Structure 1
Amino acid sequence: MREKKQLITIKGTREGITLFIDEYCSFIEAMKELHNKIIASKPKDDEPIVSVKVKLGNRYLTEDQEKHLRKIINEKNRFTIISIESDVILKEDALKWKEESKINAVNQIVRSGQVLTVKGDLLLIGDVNPGGKVVSAGNIYIMGNLYGIAHAGVDGDRNAFIVASYMKPTQLRIADYLSRAPDYESDGVYMECGLIDEDEDKIIIDRLQVLSHKRKGLSRFERRVQNG
C-alpha cells in the first residue's frame, strides 16, 4: 500500500522547532495533520514552552487562516510561534514595497518654503537652501549642499540615513530622532552621512565609509555613492 505523503514536516533546531507546511495540499488537510502532530508532541507541563518557526513555501495565508494556525500552535499546547515565513506576498503589498524601495531622482534646487516629499529613497541633484525641506520614507542622498531640513525614514525607519556632498543643515531628522544645527561643526562637512547611533541614542555625523559597516544592506547604488 502506498504510504501517505506527510503534509507537515517538523525539524528540531537549537532555538526550538521549524515547521514546514506542504504548499500544494489544502489548508484544511494541513491543519488536521498539524493538530494531530502538535497534540502528539506536546511537551510536559514542567518543560519549557517550545519556540516554533513556520515556513509556508509558496503558500499565502489569509488573516483567518493565520488565526487558525495560531490557535493550534499556542502556549496552551506548550508551543509559541516566533515567525511565519512565506515566499509569496499579495500583489498590492509587492507594489507598495516596490514604490517604497525605489530611488526617486530629482534634479532641482529646493528653495526656502519648499518641501520635497517622496515615498522611497530620494536622490536630489541640487541644493537644499535654508528654509527648504526634503522628506523621504527611505534614505536621502543630496548631490549638492544641504543647508535646510532633511527628514529620512519619515514612516519610522530608524535604519535610514542622510548623505550630502556638503552638510550644514538647519535640522536633521531620522524617523523620530531630531538633531539641530548646533550638533554640527560650524563650517559644515563634506561627503558625510547622518544616521542614528543606537549606542549613543542620537543622530551622529560620520564619514561616508562607515555606512558599509553600520548598514549591512547597502545596495549597489549606495556603494557607488560611498566609493565615489
Structure 2
Amino acid sequence: MKKRQNVIIKGTKDGLTLHLDDSCSYQDLKRELDLKLSANTRANGENQLIPVHVQLGNRYLSEEQKEEIKALIRQKKNLVVDKIDSNVLTKEEAESIRGKAEVLTVARIIRSGQILEVPGDLLLVGDVNPGGTVRAGGNIFIMGALKGIAHAGCGGDEQAIIAASSMKPSQLRISDCINRAPDIVESEEKHEMECAYIDDNRQIVVDRLQGLIHLRPNLTRLED
C-alpha cells in the first residue's frame, strides 16, 4: 500500500504551495515537512527568495505553532513564507466576520465632538450634527440630516456608499477618498434622499438614491 503523504509541494509561477495534511499529528507533519523541504531546496539550488504559500486545510494551528512552521521553512535558506491559509476560523475571527456582515441600527443624535463607529453597515435613525462623526466598515444609511463627517468603507471598501435623508456634510469619506462638500444654498435645498459613492474616476459623487440600484446591484440582500 502506498504511504500517505502528509506534505505535498507544488511549484507555481508565484513560488511554492505546501499542502499540509489535516489528519496526521502535528509532530509527524513537522518531521515530514522538514525532510521534504530540505530535499526540495537542494534540488533547486537557487539563490533568489521563493515565496511559500502554506495551506492547512481543516487543521487549526495556534499562533505559536504557525511561528514554528514559519521558522522551519525559513531555515531552508531561499524560502520565505508568504501566507498561511486555513479553513478553520477562531471564535474571534468568526465574530469579526459576523460583525462586518451585520447592519447595526442606532437611534440617536451624533452631536459635535461625538464619534460613532461600527465594524459593518450602519443605519442611523437621527442626525449627525456639525462636528459629529460616523464611521463604518461598510455602508452608512442616515435617516436624518448629515451635517458632520461620514466615513464609509473604513477598511478599504471602495464599493461602500453613504446615504442620507438630508445630505449636508462637512466632509464625506469612502475608503481613502475624501470629498469636502460645497456650501448648500438654502433655496436649492433638496427634499429627497441622496447617496454618495466612488465613481469610475475614483471621485466621490452625490446623486439621487434611486440610481443606486444600477451602480451597486449587490447592495441589497433582498430578492423579489
Q: Quote how far apart the aligned CAs of 1:179 are.
A: 3.8
Which piece of structure 1 moves more, 170-179 or 118-127?
A: 170-179
Q: Which runs of 5+ in 1 are unaligned?
A: 213-217
Partner of 2:156: 158
- What is the percentage of aligned positions where both structures have the same residue? 36
Partner of 2:77: 77
User: Match for 1:35: what amino acid?
Assistant: D
Partner of 1:29: 28
Which runs of 4 or more aligned residues in structure 1 lie more than 6 Å from their structure 2 counterparts after TM superposition? none
The CA deviation string for residues 85-107 of structure 1, in whole angstroms up to 9 with x for no partner, is 00112112322332343210234
Which piece of structure 1 moves more, 89-98 or 49-58?
A: 89-98
What's the secondary structure of 2:124's corresponding residue?
A: strand
TM-score normalised by length of structure 1 = 0.74
Aligned counterparts of 1:27 and 1:44: Cα–Cα separation in 2: 28
Partner of 2:56: 56
Which piece of structure 1 moves more, 137-146 or 58-67?
A: 137-146
Q: Quote how far apart the aligned CAs of 1:146 are.
A: 1.9
Change (3 A) 1:116 1:71: closer
Q: How many residues align?
A: 209
Change (3 A) 1:177 1:28: same
> Is 1:145–2:145 an aligned residue pair?
yes
What's the secondary structure of 1:58's corresponding residue?
A: coil
RMSD: 3.3
What's the secondary structure of 2:82's corresponding residue?
A: strand
Q: Quote how far apart the aligned CAs of 1:131 are.
A: 4.4
Partner of 1:128: 128
The CA deviation string for residues 116-135 of structure 1, in whole angstroms up to 9 with x for no partner, is 62423201244434444323
Partner of 2:19: 20
Aligned counterparts of 2:139 and 2:72: Cα–Cα separation in 1: 41
TM-score normalised by length of structure 2 = 0.75
Q: Does the Cα contact within 8 Å between 1:158 and 1:196 map onto a contact in 2?
A: no
Partner of 2:93: 93
Partner of 1:192: 195
Q: Which runs of 5+ in 2 are unaligned?
A: none
Partner of 1:167: 167
The CA deviation string for residues 115-157 of structure 1, in whole angstroms up to 9 with x for no partner, is 362423201244434444323343312244322222335xx51
